Amino acid sequence: MVVCAACRTPQPTETAGRHSAVFDSLVARNELTLVFSGDVMQHMPQVRAARREDGSFDYTACFRYIRPFWEGADWAVVNLETTLSERGPYSGYPRFASPVELAGALRRAGVDVAVLANNHCCDRGGRGVRTTVRTVDSVGLRYAGVYVDSAAAAKPLILKKRGFRVALLNCTYGTNGLPVPEGTVVHGIDTVRLAREVEAARRDSATHIVLFVHWGEEYQRRPNDAQRRLAAWCARQGLDAVIGSHPHVAQPVDTAAGVVWSLGNFVSNQRGRYQDGGLSVRVTLSSRGRRPRIESLPHWVWLRRTEGGKAEYVVVPAYVSGREIGMDSLTNLRFVGALEDNRLVAGAVEEVVL
């Protein structure tokens, strides 16, 4: 019997496996992932739900299912749409002040950066701004958009990893008519100042520039003309991506333009359709000049009751099975429906798979 060695089915070899691992490693070094989640809000029912018998606040349950998404990224960024207070009094809409424990919970769940420039950042005046900045800094969160001194405000936040230097800019359309407290800085939407920031980022050898902007009209699922004009300006400046917040509902994801018009709510007590969930996105940057890849991840906020009858606000992303985490049939239908709503709003965009 003659055996033709050339006709044998090729078998995987240890060398081939090593080559594949080396290739995967090289690809990983040439890419950087940033994930963005929307409005982290704290209405008073959420504050009461987080309060424990000893007076402390525990937000662990809220972020348990989204944690793998945040931890799996090189940088995870949220819009912190509340001020923080060490002892209270706490308050919800229209002048938010939330327990400082919220910041620590976000950090432990994998969040790296809190953008602070939004219409509620001045809700508690100078003390609120200073406590918020001091708290996020103390728990190890980087921050942008709001500052307690002009020197810090003049330096764009640069996120550094594996040779990437990503400038993350942040600004807001306004502060609900409240004055910016003396001695603090809130970055508003001002293309003259933004142009200076872009220039400063490039002088600081930024490899990529991303803007997280608080803009648009509340509860509108399409971008308005002002959003489109600013996005066009950003494109002319060569920004890599624009991430939007403020409408409290999701708006489309334009992968070709690199614009996420609105992420919508991340967590809040708003329970209306399109408001009880939203989108997160994963933006993959390349060191080889390729256009950023954007994928979306819809989620829903499950307002559940513990065995003891206490309320819990739980963010449930699309990669989680509602049935497997204890949702009854009706709740699971709401969950699935909310995910589909936000998929339709997002449009033609790939979905994150973990």
**Domains of the chain, each with CATH number or no CATH:** 32-346 (3.60.21.10)
Q: How far apart are CA 276 and CA 271, in angstroms?
A: 5
Residue pair 299/278 in contact (Cβ under 8 Å)? The answer is yes
- How far apart CA 261 and CA 251 sit, in angstroms, is 5
* Residue 141 backbone dihedrals phi, psi, to 5 degrees: -85, 130
Structure tokens at 299: 């989620």
pLDDT at 18: 47
pLDDT at residue 23, as a whole number: 42
- Determine contact, residues 306/312, Cβ cutoff 8 Å: yes
pLDDT of 29: 77
Q: What is the mean pLDDT of residues 218-228?
A: 98
Torsion on CA atoms 196, 200, 201, 205, rounded to nearest 10: 150
Nearest to 31 by CA among 208, 220, 157: 208
For residues 152-181, b (16+ Cβ closer than 10 Å) or e, as one string?
ebeebbbbeeeebbbbbbbbbbebeebebb
Mean pLDDT for 290-312 is 95
Q: Tell me what pLDDT residue 13 has.
A: 52
- The CA distance from 317 to 66, in Å, is 6
Q: Identify whether the C-beta of residue 214 lies closer than 8 Å to the C-beta of residue 247.
A: no
Q: What is the pLDDT of residue 28?
A: 57
Residue 119 has pLDDT above 90, yes or no: yes
Task: Give 92-107 pLDDT, tens digit per residue.
Answer: 999 999 999 999 999 9
Neighbours of 236 (CB within 10 A): 8
> Stretch 316-324: mean pLDDT, rounded?
98
Q: Tell me the CA distances in angstroms from 197 to 156, 177, 211, 235, one per residue in order.
A: 6, 25, 11, 15
* Residue 343 host element (H or E): helix 329-346
Q: Distance between CA atoms of 43 and 248, rounded to whole angstroms? A: 13
CA dist., res. 256 & res. 212, Å (int): 17
- Long-range contacts of range 224-231, CB-CB < 8 Å, 24 or more positions apart? 226/173, 227/261, 230/189, 230/191, 231/257, 231/259
Task: Say if residue 298 is preceded by a cis peptide, omega within 30 of 0.
Answer: no
6: pLDDT strictly greater than 60: no
Res 307: pLDDT: 86
- Per the confidence metrics, is the pTM higher than 0.75? yes
Rounded CA separation 114/155 (Å): 16
Condensed to tens digits (0 to 9), the pLDDT of residues 80-93 reads 999 999 999 999 99
Mean pLDDT value across residues 256-278 = 98
**Residue among 10, 6, 85, 73 at smallest CA distance from 36:** 73
Calpha distance 265→256 (Å, rounded): 24
Q: Is the pLDDT of residue 27 over 80?
A: no
The pLDDT of residue 289: 86
